[in-house]
Chains A and B, each alone.
Chain A
Amino acid sequence: MAPAEDTALDDSRRHLEIHNRVAEAFLTLAGDEVYGAVLDIVREVFESPLGIFGYIDEDGALVCPSLTRDVWQECAMAGKDYRFPPESWGQSLWGRAIRERRPLFTNEPCRVPAGHLPIRRVLCVPIVDQGESIGIVNVANRDRDYDDRDAAELWTICSHIAPVLNARLQRDRHEKHRRRAEAELLRARDELEQRVIERTAELSEANARLRQEIAERGRVEHALRAANRLLERLFSTTAVAIAYLDSRGCFIRVNRAFAEIAGLSPDYFPGRQYDEILGHDEIAAALAEAAATGRPAEAFGRPLEVRSAAGGDPVHCDWSIQPVLGAGGGVEGLVLTMRDVSRRLRAEALARRHQEELAHVSRLGVMGEMVSAIAHEVNQPLCAIVAFAQACRRLLGDRPDCPPEAREALEQIAGQARRAGDIVHHLREFSRRREPRRAAVSINDIVRSAVGFMAPVLHPRGLGVRLELAENLPPVSADQIQIEQVLVNLLRNAVEAMSDLPPEQRVPVVRTLLPQEGIVEVEVRDCGSGLSADGLERVFEPFFSTKPDGMGIGLPLSRSIVEAHGGRLWVVPNCDRGVSFHFTLPVHDADRPGD
């Protein structure tokens, strides 16, 4: 074999071996280790102590993982880096080699930055794949110069590396993208999880709120039900008769009290017209009117014709109609309330009759007492006239010189005066108080009734009466109206005697007691201005009064009444202020005639 052929064969064999070693490195080494391994092979092939094997990354920067090997330790540059962006390349030989996509070498020392290892000679070969520089391999500082053969050989090696590196770069890029995507995915997942956690928290919070709302709603419903029950109970048990009707006067619902007025069951009403059940009365007319106008109506103490009621006393009612207005202002329904006031009216009528009777008896009593007092007063001068006339007739009449006409006149004076006396006497008989209509009555009831009749006088002035009523008193034998009149007289006097006191002190006291067997005593005490010694003595005299407008009849009349009952009425001064009037009444005795 020729030496050239041998050399070529050797070269071929060498190239094959280098390719195998490089291919093996690419196949067996993962990550950046491959760059160091390949660079070691290349430095060994080209007997260079220094070298660089780098690739162009996506941003066009040169990345040299192989730098980290031995060069890196010896490099003293500040801010060491193994990633060089294109703008940092400058006019460096390797930068030109990359840009120009062809091998360049120099055997002159290169200008390098401070701290950089000195470069005596260098060979720079770009790795070009499909017309683009995708990396570079540099070898430097061989003991002998680099030449074109070296450049061509390294170019060949690099052109072998190019597709593998490209594939690797592609793969790395994909890997990187995949990792980034995975990271992205992971982050997205984390975010999602976070959001799920947040949403879950929000949901559970909403859930708790909902549960709370449900509980709240339950409570409200419970309260509503209770309120409803209360309303229902109120509606069904109130004494006020309530009916709800639609605007055509048709019953929707009525309560028990309403149904009772008509004497029917509440179930009978719904769906029926008012006048169908209760007749065409003024309420029916007022319902129609209220439905038409939307205005309420009411009336008091009206007689009610109840068609279906079962006889009995006439029913009187206070009634009122309240229209229920809808949102549009139209009448939606009518609330009719009625109150049966028959019993109240009857009680009022009774009380009025009682009061009228009391007033009548009072007037009669006062008149009788006045006539009696006038009779007594007039009687005295009449008595004197008669006596004078008769004395005259005695003194003159027997004398012979007395004219018969004079004697006759004196007889007439006496006769006419006696006639006047008879007239007074008859007048008195005529107006004499009726005999008390006695019955067994409770003195405490009489006192309460009398105080009740004083109410119209006392209450407007803010006055009251204190009652100290003994319990278990036996009934007295009395004419209730007359004794009430005595009490009213005494109470009125007591209040008037205290007129200069402030209202809260102007409280008369009525006391009842049983001072001894068979007698009940009533005391009416005031703390007024009291009576003088003369007043105490004369207070029961007719026409004697300490009041500026007093007639002086009340007390004499009261005394007459009490005495006609077989009791006594007297007055004693209190030890502190005012006076006390006392009167007694006999206890009722079923065996006594008249009792």
Chain B
Amino acid sequence: MDNRVADITLNKDEMRLWGSLALQGIDNAMSGLATMVNREIRMSSLSLKQVPASEAPDLVGGADKMVIGIYLAFEGDATGHLMLVHQPDVALAIIDMLLGNEPGATRDLNEMEQSALGEMGNIIGSAFLNAIADALSLRLQPSPPEVILDMAGAILDVAFAEILQQTDDVIVAETSFGTSDRQARGTFLVIPSFNFLKVILSNAGVEK
């Protein structure tokens, strides 16, 4: 077994490459969402970060913040984790939009409501992966989505447990997005595994 900590740190060129691929993916993901809800979607921020494991939950407003998370893992030629994070009340507004209900009509999360959110996660996550996979001739297959109401940190633990087996830092692409009326908004997190970065960099001709 390799006894060194894998260094996930990206140099400037690698960061630029990962950034441009992530942006292609996020663009495709947001246009998928726009088609799904039949509204314009705006990205209010996009950041690419490398953070120590201990600080990673701060990305979503703190580890103990109650959120509705839609989680997908992906595997295939590379692996990683995708998550949509919504304030619970905003998630309900999104469900109203998806189900064509009057605003405020959705109060609980039963099977149909969870399925609507899950399908949104499936479309956003798949569209993100489609763009990157096609750009690099890879196959990246998402898992079925899981919709979870819990503390943000508790949901993210599954990603950290996988990534921290090899590294101490986590690379995250974080996008805040919303409809122009801000009725629906959320955060889309992409947390690649160490192997994902190796694969995309070597497929693009950069050795990691």
| Physical interaction between A and B | no
Give the B-binding residues of A (Cβ under 8 A). none
Which residues in B have some Cβ–Cβ distance to A below 8 Å? none
